[in-house]
């Protein structure tokens, strides 16, 4: 049986691999580093959370089941809490990784085109 620490470490490693980043290994929890750092997207502040249940995850799966009939369909859950200005989008991490790669390739293409 996996220990809890193995589970979140695995999530951080997987996240880093998919997003083309690096897992930050903390020496102390007083450090303010994010869980994963993506060098070519330093503005992304990535923190991994693993729980038995997430309300957002349950809602995301409902969107997926209700609307995604084809393998090419991509569920996107938009969340906003009452009295808050921030609106969140919940997407699959593999899709996010693909988006980052598109941006990477476009930037490389623009540099070559110069």
**Which residue ranges make up each domain of the chain?**
1-50, 54-114
φ, ψ (nearest 5 deg) of residue 18: -65, -40
pLDDT of residue 3: 64
Measure the CA angle with vertex 58, ends 46 and 56; round to 5°. 35
- Of 50-59, 60-69, 104-113, the one with minimum mean pLDDT is 104-113
Minimum mean pLDDT range among 27-36, 42-51, 70-79: 27-36
Is 1's pLDDT higher than 60? Answer: no
Binning pLDDT at 50, 70 and 90, where does residue 28 land?
confident
Q: Phi and psi for 29 in degrees, rounded to 5? A: -75, -5
How far, rounded to the nearest angstrom, does the alpha carbon of residue 114 sit from its chain's CA centroid? 31
- pLDDT for 5 equals 67
Please state the rounded mean pLDDT for residues 50-57.
90
Q: Give DSSP secondary structure letters for 42-97.
A: TT--B-----S--HHHHHHHHHHHHH--STT----EEEE-TT---EEEE--HHHHH
Rounded Cα gap, residues 69 and 93, in angstroms = 20
| In the predicted structure, residue 70 carries a pLDDT above the cut 90 | yes
**How far is it, in rounded angstroms, from Cα 91 to Cα 96?**
7
């Amino acid at each position: 049986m996996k220990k809890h620490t193995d589970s979140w470490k695995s999530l951080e490693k997987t996240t880093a691999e998919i997003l083309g980043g690096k897992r930050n290994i903390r020496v102390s929890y007083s450090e303010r580093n994010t869980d994963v750092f993506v060098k070519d997207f330093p503005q992304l502040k990535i923190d991994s959370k693993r729980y038995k249940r997430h309300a957002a995850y349950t809602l995301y799966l409902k969107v997926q089941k209700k609307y995604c009939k084809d393998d090419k369909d991509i569920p996107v859950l938009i969340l906003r809490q009452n009295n808050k200005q921030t609106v969140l989008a919940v997407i699959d991490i593999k899709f996010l990784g693909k988006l980052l790669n598109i941006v990477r390739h476009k930037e490389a293409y623009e540099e070559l085109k110069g």
